[in-house]
Amino acid sequence: MTPLWTSADIAAATGGTASSAFSATGVTFDSREVAPGDLFVALTGEATDGHRFLTQAFDRGAAGALVSQDCAHPSVRVHDTMAALENLARAARARTSAKIIGVTGSVGKTGTKEALFAALDRGARGEAHRSVKSYNNHTGVPLSLARMPADTRFGVFEMGMNHAGELAHLTTLVRPHVAIITTVASVHREFFDSEEAIADAKGEIFQGLEPGGVAIVPYDNIHRDRLIAAAAPHAARTVTFGLEKGADVRAIETMRTASGGTFVTARVGTRELSFTISQPGLHWVSNCLALLAAVDAVGGDLALAGLALAELGGLAGRGARFAVPVGTGEALIIDESYNANPSSMRATLAVLGAEQAKRKVVVLGEMREMGEESDAYHAALAEPILAAGVRAGILVGKRIAPLANALEGEGDFVHVPDAAAARVSLSAMLAPGDAVLIKGSNGVGLAALVAALQGGTL
């Protein structure tokens, strides 16, 4: 296998000193994820110190380590391992001629990133690269860049934030040729005075655009003009996408398929393209319109992108579906357990509403980081829940109490304190023919409930 990094490369990129020669085929900062041949980056943080896990990393087959302390194994020593990881990321970005796409947004970042990767990889097998999982923060973005092979043709990087100024830094590392904002919504409101402030923070992604870069903006969003203005000083061209007339890339027609996906006819500039999206919901249509705009901007194959969208599988925690045996039948589980905010809650409740099921059930965890308006945001979910035909469910966490109050007398809704109690309640409530949406902020821990259902241990 061609080395991703040699010790000499790492030392040159970071200004460090190599203890001996080695070659690495991967990079990680989690000792539990070390694979044979990896470079282990010993990050030092408030909670732990990666140097404590050097032995574990090398026992798992690490080829070398990036350290700031004495190390008995092959290593490159630097003053600050976090700064060194960023420098390695910059070196990875500098050495590639790949077309780079950056993705941010209040909702839909990870799904859009994964779909973009699938679309680009379909036409360039093995030559597309993307950030894995939700590695979209101050450590995840440089790690994802450091993992990018030099001969990559297309790179797709997710960038997240919950404070102003964070994207401004991340985008200077990624230096995208194309920057996408999927949407702007009231997420992380605890840290922002207004939704306009969130839009401004998302707009920071355009600051890192390469010369001649393209900004991709949601036409249907109330903050569209604000985002276009943010892009203007940095983008050579701004492309809008959406369902409304006037968008540069828009859906002319949509139709739900028998399998639950959506058949779409879209206009991309002066061209029309018909394709099927395997994932259900209009929010996925919007995400895929942004994808088409990006694929077009980097010279990718739109027809192959359309084929890739028909083959997309559900992402764990973000729409994956599976059936579980219940009595003499089955129940459908829709796993949206990774995160939640008012916008994504409404979108996935609409998807549940379109399901053909004997009964529609929700397991909803509280939405966190919603600030002073948390009670109002939670209570407002009663309307889309009832509109979706849901009359049974489990509401999890202290912050979700206003929703429990709003749904009182509307059906069989139970309010419980935590995910463990939700597991007990769902075991008693689940029936054959149910379609169950499980969604909440990640910290609520509903992923454990999903795992129990998948493992048959509910």
Which tens digit of pLDDT belongs to each residue from 328-357?
A: 999 999 999 988 999 999 999 999 999 999
CATH H-level, domain 5-81: superfamily: MurE/MurF, N-terminal domain (3.40.1390.10)
Pick the range with the lowest mean pLDDT from 187-196, 321-330, 399-408: 187-196
Q: What is the full DSSP assignment across 58-119?
A: HHTT-SEEEESS--SSSEEE-S-HHHHHHHHHHHHHHH---EEEEEE-SS-HHHHHHHHHHH
Question: 452, 363 in Cβ contact below 8 A?
Answer: no
Q: Is residue 447 very low, low, confident or very high in pLDDT (cuts 50, 70, 90)?
A: very high
User: Could you tell me which residues are beta bridge partners of residue 436?
Assistant: 333, 361
User: Could you tell me which residues are beta bridge partners of residue 332?
Assistant: 323, 435
Question: 171, 159 in Cβ contact below 8 A?
Answer: yes
pLDDT digits over 228-284, tens only?
999 999 999 999 999 999 999 999 999 999 888 999 999 998 999 999 999 999 999
Distance CA 104, CA 24 (A): 30
Give the torsion through C-alpha atoms of 247, 202, 314, 419, to 10 deg. -140
- Identify the CA nearest to 41 among candidates 152, 187, 141, 143: 143
Other C-beta atoms closer than 10 Å to the C-beta of 30 total: 13
Task: Flag whether pLDDT at 1 surpasses 80.
Answer: no
- Identify the CA nearest to 116 among candidates 284, 361, 243, 360: 284
By residue count, the chain amounts to: 458
The two tokens of residue 353 are 């509403």
Q: What mean pLDDT comes out for the span 304-326?
A: 91
Distance CA 70, CA 64 (A): 13
3-state secondary structure string across 189-249: HHHCCCHHHHHHHHHHHHHHCCCCCEEEEECCCCCHHHHHHHHCCCCCEEEEEECCCCCCE
pLDDT digits over 41-73, tens only?
999 987 889 999 999 999 999 999 999 999 999
> What is the rounded end-to-end Cα distance, in angstroms, of the chain?
43
CATH topology match: 96-310 vs 320-454:
no
Give the torsion through C-alpha atoms of 83, 89, 90, 94, to 10 deg. 160
Topology (CATH) of 96-310: UDP-N-acetylmuramoyl-L-alanine:D-glutamate ligase (3.40.1190)
Q: 320-454: what CATH class?
A: alpha beta
The two tokens of residue 309 are 């969208």
3-state secondary structure of 349: helix
For the chain, the structural domain boundaries read 5-81, 96-310, 320-454
Give the torsion through C-alpha atoms of 217, 218, 219, 225, to 10 deg. -60
Distance CA 156, CA 315 (A): 17
Q: What mean pLDDT comes out for the span 120-131?
A: 94
Question: 321, 333 in Cβ contact below 8 A?
Answer: yes
Task: Flag whether pLDDT at 180 surpasses 90.
Answer: yes
Question: 439, 340 in Cβ contact below 8 A?
Answer: yes
Radius of gyration of the chain (CA): 23
